Amino acid sequence: MRRLTVAILVMLVLRAGASAGMSVSTPLAELNGPVEYDPLNPTRITFDFGTEFQQIDAVWIEIDARVEAQQFDLCTDPASCVHHTILVGFLAIIDEEDQPFPGSIFSDRLDFSDDPRAAIGSGLAIAQFNNASTWNILLDGEGTLELSWNSPAIVGGQSVQNFLPPSGEISAARLIAHGTPVVPEPTVALLLGSGLAALAAVKPAGG
């Protein structure tokens, strides 16, 4: 009877937490380290939240990094050039796992300074992904993430000279999903409850 009671309590706690929604995070350790500037080959990794979801309400990304600005001369003709220093950050895209091409779920910009003209920026940047019409692609808890530099567009009729690309290094990154995880089936909860009851019944040595 005691084991059954514990099992029921465990199951109720799990289901109550899931129905209220919760945040689940996964580290993105593969992003740690220097970030190369290669517009044609952005960094692409896979991730796994370690759980399936009944539904997902929002997804966001956190990156702790130090970045250095890109610099270039913007010219309308060879005799008329203006030097620019622009501190750019990152842009992330997520899609379901094993997709050969990036998806259409973009993050907001990940910026590391309030001053876009600063030479250096650092700290923690947080960006939410745009509201997908459905997060069904991530209900299995797995997906693909692509990270690239968020370089500004150049207006037509202007040429870029003496380009110095941005550089940076990521020290920590994680992806967070807020939603309703799939809870264990009753049989799993019963087994878990039985194990907890068995542990509770064991007396310490000498007791």
Both tokens assigned to 79: 């005799």
pLDDT value at residue 133: 73
| pLDDT tens string 120-136 | 999 999 999 987 777 88
pLDDT value at residue 57: 93
CB 8 within 8 A of CB 193: yes
pLDDT value at residue 200: 47
Tell me the C-alpha distance between 150 and 88, whole Å. Answer: 6
197's CB contacts (< 8 A; 6+ apart) are: 2, 3, 6, 7
Q: Residue 89: which of 202, 168, 14, 164 has the closest Cα?
A: 168
Measured in degrees and rounded to the nearest 5, phi and psi for residue 118 equal: -70, 150
CA distances 39 to 35, 148, 205, Å, are 12, 7, 63
CB 161 within 8 A of CB 154: no
Tell me the C-alpha distance between 183 and 11, whole Å. Answer: 8
Domains recognised in the chain with CATH numbers: 22-179 (2.60.120)
Tell me the C-alpha distance between 148 and 44, whole Å. Answer: 9
pLDDT value at residue 18: 46
Tell me the C-alpha distance between 120 and 117, whole Å. Answer: 9
In order along its 207 residues, the chain shows pLDDT tens digits of 554 444 444 444 444 444 458 999 999 999 999 999 998 889 999 999 999 999 999 999 999 999 999 999 999 887 789 999 999 999 999 987 766 565 678 999 999 999 999 999 999 999 999 877 778 889 999 999 999 999 776 666 778 889 999 999 999 999 999 999 997 665 444 444 444 444 444 444 554
pLDDT value at residue 174: 98
pLDDT value at residue 88: 94
